[in-house]
Structure 1
């Protein structure tokens, strides 16, 4: 190892981060079982917020650096979590998986003792401790410990910061990890403890068998600085059997890593039409420093640190490998300075035929007012999450990729972050290349509704709807009050109504409100209705519709689109 800088200056190191910028963040905080954590405190720069019931947080216009943003999360019952990112221009999405503050062993001051995990991870304590104020501690000591294995796909969400560090000379480095160990000490009254000055502890970090062939005999140790948001080199560990063993003088997350000189690489992923492809996994692999990955944002961009002067293999795959094989694989680099590249993913690549789907709409409250601070989540038909993003003055746009032979049904759920209102989970049918679902409303006290828009006008929301099936072949949706009515009927002429898309001559649509009136019985209308959910009695019917009508009073043609979410009455 090279000589250590005895007084590394964090202010000098921040010169690597670039200028101040403002960026938007949308994130989720979950536990080890991917359950949302409610009311976790999230801090980014000078802004603080709480997660909602879905574990989601929103921070707009966060003041961060061009090459570094640091998100911190705290919640009683969990050890502190965090994520450091290289921010992008679009929505910066982060996921943080908090680890429980579970006591794995108890010792006492003045007693030497080794605390073990079942997988072989351990910490050997000498028995001398101090409180946060530096005063000596005497009494029982509870030990909280977690081992993070780099072969575990959840490690990326559980680890603090990112694999970015200052080495012993205060130089910028990226890291290839062989494992981490988090150790925290608590006194009998729950107070935070640490090792006394001059006292040390021996940590043992087990290695997965697949890592042994590339594991060096000695490796630098790095601890995570919770104030700065990055790792710092301190000491080294020795490979003993299938474990790294090292000595530390204080507790935090400790990390066994090989460092590499790094540059920032931004990758823009687009399809053949030039559409930005969001929420695709981009894996960067270096022969000498392993793999790391990230997900493209709504602008199709992902940025991160990569080893300099290395040829890199870039692999693009669909979210959670929903298609067989990868959408793109090729080499790029080497890079000696910060760079940005574009990747074109063809619609029939590596044996995969896939489609780009864009979903747009408007998110309102019960009174038809646009939601200004909220988000919309996109799911597969089986409720598997695909993507989520902000609403922008009520408008939302989500883009996803799906296999051409997959179901064309998708679901949406929208959340009003400020007023704590939400929509039901609504089913729709893709109508490529752009599916406009019209307006969806957040009304917690409302079980069913119809929303629609004429041309580019305001959203109209109707409640107290009747809907059902006659003889399985005739579907009727009906609303009427003194000032307006709406009727949508689908006649399948003796064949059962199913989840499908229907149009003329099967669809009969008419409506009237204070501004417009169509002809009765579907005359002079051309409406397409997509049934995406057809429940049993007491369950939901979901339909989105769009088309044109001739106004009865003015004889002018207008466009109309809408959403129906109604409980089946018969």
Structure 2
């Protein structure tokens, strides 16, 4: 099983069940018996299924088929709009959704229409969208009959009658864009629009089991969206993957995706001819061959045996009749979606940062109503939950209230929104002895980011200190004493010298602010190369002891619990990165707390 190594993000489940005994109609040798249903439309009363209007924070990650982030994508949730940044990430806070439904649209020139529908989680809703390029499969002219294929078995037969977006007749050349989505492809969950949630021909809600989707988009001479003339039809053909042929019914309902409302609408049917479904459609959008099923909104909340949330975990649900679907947990360990009613399902939990072995396996259900299900995953051996905390500040060293941090470990990880005071806390599963991870912070309002900074886990809790989202900074030293009673922030007059030939190797970092009569002097004796690691306080009585001291400015530290995390020590002109945190008593017995971050260029 392949685990996609993209920042963690929670995705909705789709529905998993199908009727293997659906044999009410027989396979035909041609399409003469395929019925055509007039275009069904969205019923506003269908929204009664959504529950009450609510507001939720939504974090969207948009990328292409190669996993590269796509910037400048317009993200729309109801009346709220924003754009993805260079990392392909956009955040909408307090977005308008419903208790059981939310709809996120993504659009950018050069890509076909993309979207995601969700069953909102109690915490931040993390959404992943893989946008498909607007690649022309073939061209034709108005008034001409044409068959356009995608080169992989999918096709559309057009009769030559088209209309402009305003409903007037179109004359000219037509570019045809085809994308076939195969349910056997695990990336389908990120590529498909909406989710597998539908309004049937009676106006009732349904979960769906897909046997394949086909996106058909038509472009005119000037790139405008075209569609079929009312009363015209086109024939679509979708190949059926061999792995699902065993439960492919002779006829299957067709559903089109309503791009305005974010749900699938039942309209017509397709017939199985050999290993292909063939059907006639009267307009274009995404078309879907699906078996409808009853479904409930089920939320799983994953924690380890110590109560820590398992964020960024891949959760798979296997139905005995419809195979496996999956989703990712958010920073609270939550993942929600529509699951088939009245079935016993198999649940597995994986981590992108670990092996492909399941960390947890159990049967769950059957479910007959919406509910939240707690899941406790017992981690053993080298597999542990790491908690990462810190603060994100702006160029003025004040808290970022609208931002996020990206925590990356072995190519996997999580995105975590910061709280209004700039604080953040996220968990990530570590299952090797490799302790190194990176953190990058983003200030959304001021369009500023931190540099990617290296850290080492100090199990079970790692405090990375204060991160500065300020692209203009080249180096800085900051610390916070007693929760803000005394702070220090310096971007100039910094000296950082490393002496690798000393025994043991030693490091000194110094900065002083004359205006405030404050500063920092750090001295450390280090381990042999590569020098990085976690250190405690230096014992001056032992010349060979390894550790760090800050007593030059803070005085004698008694009963200190200081931990120093040296994560990078580059060549001259490259960065030295250290974070430190802990408590100590001064000589008078007064307790203090101290946290800080050093990100400086090496001078010697």
* TM-score tier (shorter): over 0.9
1:16 equivalent in alignment to 2:49: yes
Match of 2:405 in 1: 376
Choose which of 23, 31, 47 in structure 1 pairs with 2:80.
47
1:250 equivalent in alignment to 2:283: yes
**Structure 1: distance between partners of 2:310 and 2:413:** 13
**5+ residue gaps in structure 1?**
none
Superposition map of 1:405-420 within 5 A: 405-420=432-447
Distance 1:304 1:452, change over 3 A: same
**Structure 1: distance between partners of 2:238 and 2:89:** 33
> Helix, strand or coil for the counterpart of 1:322?
coil
Match of 1:543 in 2: 578
> Helix, strand or coil for the counterpart of 1:151?
coil
**Structure 2: distance between partners of 1:91 and 1:479:** 40
- What is the root-mean-square deviation in Å for CA atoms of aligned residues? 2.2
Shift of 1:396: 0.7
Choose which of 461, 467, 488 in structure 2 pairs with 1:440.
467
Distance 1:358 1:105, change over 3 A: same
**Structure 2: distance between partners of 1:6 and 1:408:** 57
Superposition map of 1:479-494 within 5 A: 479-482=511-514, 483-492=517-526
**Structure 2: distance between partners of 1:526 and 1:253:** 59
1:83 equivalent in alignment to 2:83: no
Distance 1:234 1:432, change over 3 A: same
Shift of 1:492: 3.8
> Helix, strand or coil for the counterpart of 1:16?
helix
**Structure 2: distance between partners of 1:449 and 1:164:** 50
Match of 2:70 in 1: 37
User: For the Cα contact (< 8 Å) 1:176–1:290, is it kept in 2?
Assistant: no
**Structure 2: distance between partners of 1:432 and 1:463:** 30
Choose which of 84, 105, 109 in structure 2 pairs with 1:72.
105
Per-residue CA deviation, residues 370-415 of structure 1 (Å, 9 max, x unaligned), is 00111100011x5x24001111121111111111x33111110000
Match of 1:534 in 2: 569
Match of 1:271 in 2: 304
**Structure 2: distance between partners of 1:496 and 1:154:** 42
**Structure 1: distance between partners of 2:288 and 2:142:** 26
Shift of 1:277: 1.7
Match of 1:519 in 2: 555
Shift of 1:253: 0.3
Match of 1:509 in 2: 549
Shift of 1:428: 1.1
**Structure 2: distance between partners of 1:369 and 1:492:** 33
Match of 1:357 in 2: 386
Shift of 1:217: 2.0
Superposition map of 1:6-405 within 5 A: 10-318=43-351, 320=352, 322-348=354-380, 353-380=382-409, 382=410, 384-393=411-420, 394-403=422-431, 405=432
1:470 equivalent in alignment to 2:499: yes
Shift of 1:103: 1.6
Query: Which structure has greater strand proportion?
Result: 1
**Structure 1: distance between partners of 2:71 and 2:46:** 35
Shift of 1:303: 1.0
User: For the Cα contact (< 8 Å) 2:237–2:277, is it kept in 1?
Assistant: yes
Superposition map of 1:555-570 within 5 A: 556-570=590-604
**Structure 2: distance between partners of 1:156 and 1:374:** 27
Shift of 1:84: 0.2
Shift of 1:550: 4.9
* TM value normalised by structure 2: 0.88
Distance 1:345 1:508, change over 3 A: closer
**Structure 2: distance between partners of 1:6 and 1:103:** 26
Shift of 1:8: 6.0
**Structure 1: distance between partners of 2:134 and 2:349:** 36
User: For the Cα contact (< 8 Å) 2:353–2:430, is it kept in 1?
Assistant: no
User: For the Cα contact (< 8 Å) 2:297–2:370, is it kept in 1?
Assistant: yes
1:461 equivalent in alignment to 2:489: yes
> Helix, strand or coil for the counterpart of 1:157?
helix
Per-residue CA deviation, residues 531-566 of structure 1 (Å, 9 max, x unaligned), is 1222233322211112345557x6634221211112
User: For the Cα contact (< 8 Å) 1:440–1:451, is it kept in 2?
Assistant: no
**Structure 1: distance between partners of 2:77 and 2:279:** 33
Runs (4+) of structure 1 moved beyond 4 Å? Answer: 1-9, 522-526, 549-552
**Structure 1: distance between partners of 2:66 and 2:118:** 23
Count of residue pairs brought into register by the alignment:
556
**5+ residue gaps in structure 2?**
1-23, 26-34, 540-545
**Structure 2: distance between partners of 1:236 and 1:510:** 74
User: For the Cα contact (< 8 Å) 1:26–1:389, is it kept in 2?
Assistant: no
Higher relative contact order (CA 8 A, sep 6+): 2
* TM value normalised by structure 1: 0.93
Distance 1:5 1:173, change over 3 A: farther
Shift of 1:271: 1.3
User: For the Cα contact (< 8 Å) 1:509–1:525, is it kept in 2?
Assistant: no
Distance 1:242 1:525, change over 3 A: same
Shift of 1:116: 1.0
Distance 1:463 1:7, change over 3 A: closer
- Greater CA deviation, 324-333 or 80-89? 324-333
> Helix, strand or coil for the counterpart of 2:167?
coil
User: For the Cα contact (< 8 Å) 1:284–1:313, is it kept in 2?
Assistant: yes
Shift of 1:460: 2.7
